[in-house]
Amino acid sequence: MALFKEKKGFFGKLSERIGDAIMGRPEIDEDLMDELEEILITSDIGMDTTMKIMEDLRTYIKDNYITNPANVKEALAKVIAKLMDKGERNQLCQDTPLVILMIGINGGGKTTSIAKIGHKLRQEGKTVLLAAADTFRAAAGEQLEIWGNRIGVNTIKHQEGADPSAVIFDAIQSAKARNMDVLICDTAGRLQTKKNLMNELEKMNKVISREFPEAARETLLVLDATTGKNAVSQAQEFNDVAEITGVVLTKLDGTAKGGIAITIADEFDMPIKYIGVGEKMDDLKEFVPLEFAGGIFE
C-alpha cells in the first residue's frame, strides 16, 4: 500500500468518493451499495466487472457479518484484490533461459519498460540481452540501444526496415553463445493491419520455438494507464493476435485512471505483472493485488 500513499489522481479521487459515500451512514443498506456501484462504474471499471465486484462484496459482507459501514472500504479492497489475484501468473517466470516478447502500441512506454525490466533482472543477478525487433519505427533500434547502454546490457539490432524475425534469430544465437539468462525482444508497436501484426508475431514465435526450444516464454502487453478505456480496447486487439501471458501497466502516476487494471485483469483474465509508478528505473514495481487494491483506499 505504501506505493500509492503519495499518489493522487485515480486513487485519491476514488478513495475520497467512497469515503464520502460511507461517511455518516448508520448502516449498510441498498442506497449505499447503489452509490458504491455508481462510483465504480464511473472510475473506468467496466459495467460487467463492477457487477461482479458488487455481487462479491455483498457476499463478503454477509459471510463476514459486517454491519459497520466503516468496514466496507477494507471489504471492497479484499474483493478487488481477489478478483485481480492470478496466483503465480502475476509473477514473471523465473525459469532460465527466458525469452520475453514485449508488445504494445507506440507511445505506451514499451521501450522504457523493457529497460526497467532489464534493470530489475540485472539487480536480481541475471544476465540480460535486448533484441531491437521493432524495425518499422524510425530509430527504434537506436533508442533501445541507448537504454541498453544505460542499464549495462547489449542490444542486437539490424538496419531500419529489416526483417524482425531475422533480428530475433541473431539475438537468440547471441544469447545462446553468451549463455544469457534473459532475452527481451522489442516488437513493432503497430503494423498496417491486424493480419500483418499477427503474421509478424507468428513468425517471431516460430523462430523462437525452432531456435530456442529450451527457453521459457513470456509475452507481455504494455498498456498506458492514462488512456483509460482505450487501454481496454488495446488489450482486446492484442489479445486477438497474441497469447499474452501478462500486462505491464505504465504511467500509473498522478494522472492515471487505474480502474482499467481491474477491468483488464477480470474481463480478459490477464495477470498484471508490473506497474509503472514513475519515471525512474526503480519505479517499475511488481504487482501485488492486495497492495494495489488497498492503495485505492489509502
Annotated binding site for GTP: 104-111, 186-190, 250-253
Q: How far is CA 152 from CA 67, 146, 281, in A?
A: 55, 10, 13
DSSP 84-138: H--GGGGS----SSEEEEEE--TTSSHHHHHHHHHHHHHHTT--EEEEE---SST
* Calpha distance 172→133 (Å, rounded): 12
By CB atoms closer than 10 A (0-12, 13-18, 19+), residue 77 is: buried
Binding residues: 104-111, 186-190, 250-253
Residue 144 φ/ψ region, left for φ over 0, alpha for ψ in the -120 to 50 degree band, beta for the rest: alpha
Pairing of strands 246-250, 272-276: parallel
Closest to 263 (Cα-Cα) out of 241, 294, 298, 234: 234
Q: Quote the cell numbers at residue 222.
A: 504494455
Pairing of strands 216-224, 182-186: unpaired
Q: Quote the cell numbers at residue 40.
A: 465504480
Closest to 147 (Cα-Cα) out of 114, 181, 110, 187: 114
Check whether the bond before 97 is cis (ω within 30° of 0).
Answer: yes
